[in-house]
Amino acid sequence: MVKRVLFPGRFQPFHKGHLHAVLSLLNEYDEIVIAVGSAQEGFTCQNPFTAGERLEMIRDALLCEGIDPKRFWLITVPDINKPLAWTAYLLGLSPKVEAVATGNAHVKAIYSWIGVRVVEVDLYKPELFNGSRIRTLIANNGNWEELVPEPVAKYLKSVGGVKRVEELCRGLH
């Protein structure tokens, strides 16, 4: 029987904290399902990258780490703004999992409430590795590249993501 865990997040962008969590989870599970949330969003300051772009940056980062593609699933899930319904909706979109992994108190609470096993992700240096901070650094021409895996930095540059964040977030941070 394959041991599989679900890891939801927005991944705006996928950073080294996310990568640390994935690697840690793959030490305990055979496979990981990475669910890219807010899939309907893109081209906003909070969600500058499309679901497809996030899938590509995650895949690039995991392959660069030498992770066998048979060990990870990448799926997208749009928001439905009904937290309890969203939990079941996400489980319905995902391959069958044993647990949900999260460092988010809200996600932990709603999955625990419906009786799904929750694995708490030990957040790796959250003061450094968080999407809001990284987007702020990008928008303000700060040193953000060291906070994301190298393939993610290359990818963001190749799709004009840096300029996009600068334009979308100008004056907001």
- Domain locations in the chain as residue ranges: 4-169
**pLDDT at 112 (0 to 100):** 94
Q: What is the mean pLDDT of residues 16-34?
A: 97
CATH class of the domain comprising 4-169 = alpha beta
**pLDDT at 148 (0 to 100):** 97
Answer with the residue of higher pLDDT: 63 or 81: 63
Q: What is the mean pLDDT of residues 28-51?
A: 96
**pLDDT at 62 (0 to 100):** 98
**pLDDT at 123 (0 to 100):** 79
Q: What is the mean pLDDT of residues 99-121?
A: 93
**pLDDT at 170 (0 to 100):** 79
**pLDDT at 56 (0 to 100):** 97
Please tell me the distance from the alpha carbon of residue 67 to that of residue 17, in angstroms, as a whole number. 16
**pLDDT at 83 (0 to 100):** 86
Give SS3 for 53: helix
Whether the per-residue pLDDT at 172 is higher than 70: the answer is no
Please tell me the distance from the alpha carbon of residue 71 to that of residue 57, in angstroms, as a whole number. 17
Query: Which structure tokens are listed for 114?
Result: 């419906």
